[in-house]
């Protein structure tokens, strides 16, 4: 009944967790297809160990990979996700139920939240993504599905000709716009999967800059083929964190060099700090003396 497509490019670190989450689904009637899009690591080897249907796509790009998998699929309903995504146990059963109860439904999907990445990105995915999806629906005239959490009826997929393989970004939004012309496209913002925040490893703003230009152009001109730049990211660690030790060492070296080249400035600073400390001590001593004087005067008055 169901086919699942996972496009992959050097995903040996993430793919096992994704496949394991599919192995434990409460819905069992499905085929699982992994599309190897020119990986040079152990992605294909790991996929074989899980017993999936492994196919290859030589044309580079996620739209090419998804298209190849969808055309290979035998299921009446084709779901797709990303290799760095972990699916809830009821992911497939929820998808199946939605299509079963509504024969006019041609595509269904949900949202996501980040299980990794900086805290700013994780909080944004948890509290702000739903608002963006609703805003996107308003500007686009309907729901736009997310590649990490979507499913399409195969009949409708073939009818519209599948994905636009010229796109490196927004391929799921573009196909959503065409699917809306042949049937219902529904997204439930509360139906979420967990995915990595690796594209936001340098911070929320830096990560958004990969998507903002093409999204704005899509909103304003209904065009999907502008600013199609998205470099592959396969690590979580920020460059700042990665080189934090080096930065600290450089800071110490620069401070030591300054101390060596300008000893008079450093000594003057030390003298100024010492003078401040002495003034503080004198002030405290005077305050203590004043308090002691008051106590002695009070004691004399008591005796009198």
Domain co-membership, 187 together with 227: yes
pLDDT at residue 283 tops 70: no
Q: Which domain holds residue 267?
A: 248-303
Alpha helices (H) along the chain: 15-23, 43-49, 62-72, 91-101, 119-127, 129-140, 154-160, 171-179, 204-208, 212-221, 239-242, 244-261, 263-303
Question: Are residues 140 and 268 located together in one domain of the fold?
Answer: no
CB atoms within 10 A of CB 50: 16
Give residue 133's pLDDT. Answer: 97
β-strand partners of 219: none
Polymer length in residues for the chain? 304
Q: Using one digit for the tens of pLDDT, what is the confidence trace for 158-190?
A: 999 999 999 988 999 999 999 999 999 999 999
DSSP string, 117-151: S-HHHHHHHHHTHHHHHHHHHHHHTS---BTTBEE
**Domain termination site, one of 197, 222, 239:** 239
Q: Are residues 156 and 257 in the same domain?
A: no
SS3 116: coil
- Pick from 239, 256, 278: which residue ends a domain? 239
Q: In the block, which residue shows the tokens 């008055």?
A: 301
Please classify residue 244 by burial: count the beta carbons closer than 10 Å to its beta carbon, then call 0-12 exposed, 13-18 middle and 19+ buried: exposed
Lowest mean pLDDT among 186-190, 207-211, 219-223, 275-279: 275-279
143 plus 276 within the same structural domain = no
Query: Structural domain tally of the chain?
Result: 2
Q: Which of 183, 218, 239 is the last residue of a domain?
A: 239
Looking at the fold, whether 44 and 62 belong to one and the same domain comes out as yes
User: Residues 290, 170: one domain?
Assistant: no
Q: Which of 130-144, 223-237, 264-278 has the lowest mean pLDDT?
A: 264-278
Q: pLDDT-based confidence at 207, cuts 50/70/90?
A: confident
Say yes or no: 230 and 253 in one domain.
no
Q: Are residues 128 and 72 in the same domain?
A: yes
Of the candidate ranges 131-135, 198-202, 225-229, 268-272, the one whose mean pLDDT is the lowest = 268-272
Q: How far apart are CA 24 and CA 17, in angstroms?
A: 11
* Residue-averaged pLDDT of the chain: 85
Query: Which CATH number covers residue 212?
Result: 3.90.550.10
Q: Are residues 114 and 255 in the same domain?
A: no
Is 282 found in the same domain as 148?
no
Going by the DSSP 8-state scheme, the letter that residue 199 receives in this structure is: G
Same domain (yes/no): 38, 121? yes
Looking at the fold, whether 284 and 177 belong to one and the same domain comes out as: no
Sequence-ordered list of residues with C-beta below 8 angstroms from that of 201, at least 6 positions apart, any chain: 117, 118, 207, 233, 235, 236, 237, 238
Give the range among 30-34, 70-74, 209-213 with minimum mean pLDDT: 209-213
**pLDDT classification of 243: cutoffs 50, 70, 90:** very low
């Amino acid at each position: 009944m169901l086919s699942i497509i996972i496009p992959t490019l050097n995903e040996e670190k993430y793919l096992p967790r994704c496949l394991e989450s599919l192995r434990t689904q409460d819905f069992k009637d499905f085929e699982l297809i992994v599309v190897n899009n020119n990986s040079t690591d152990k992605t294909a080897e790991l996929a074989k160990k899980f017993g999936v249907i492994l196919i290859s796509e030589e044309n580079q790009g996620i739209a090419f990979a998804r298209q190849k998998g969808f055309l290979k699929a035998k299921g009446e309903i084709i779901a797709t996700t990303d290799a760095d995504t972990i699916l809830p146990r009821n992911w497939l059963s929820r998808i199946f139920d939605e299509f079963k109860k509504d024969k006019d439904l041609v595509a269904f999907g949900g949202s996501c939240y980040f299980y990794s990445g900086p805290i700013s990105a994780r909080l944004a995915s948890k509290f702000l993504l739903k608002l963006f999806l609703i805003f996107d629906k308003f500007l686009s005239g309907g729901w736009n599905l997310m590649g990490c959490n979507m499913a399409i009826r195969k009949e409708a997929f073939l009818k519209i000709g599948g994905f636009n393989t010229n796109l490196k970004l927004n391929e799921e939004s573009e196909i959503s716009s065409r699917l809306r012309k042949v049937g219902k496209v529904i997204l439930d913002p509360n139906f979420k999967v967990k995915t990595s925040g690796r594209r936001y490893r340098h911070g929320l703003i830096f990560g958004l800059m990969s998507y903002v230009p093409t999204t704005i152009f899509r909103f304003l001109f209904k065009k999907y083929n502008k600013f199609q730049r998205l470099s592959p990211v396969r690590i979580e660690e920020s460059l700042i964190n990665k080189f934090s030790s080096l930065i600290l060492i450089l800071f110490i070296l620069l401070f030591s060099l300054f101390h060596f080249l300008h000893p008079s400035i450093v000594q003057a600073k030390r003298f100024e700090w010492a003078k401040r400390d002495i003034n503080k001590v004198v002030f405290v001593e005077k305050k203590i003396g004043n308090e002691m004087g008051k106590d002695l005067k009070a004691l004399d008055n008591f005796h009198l």
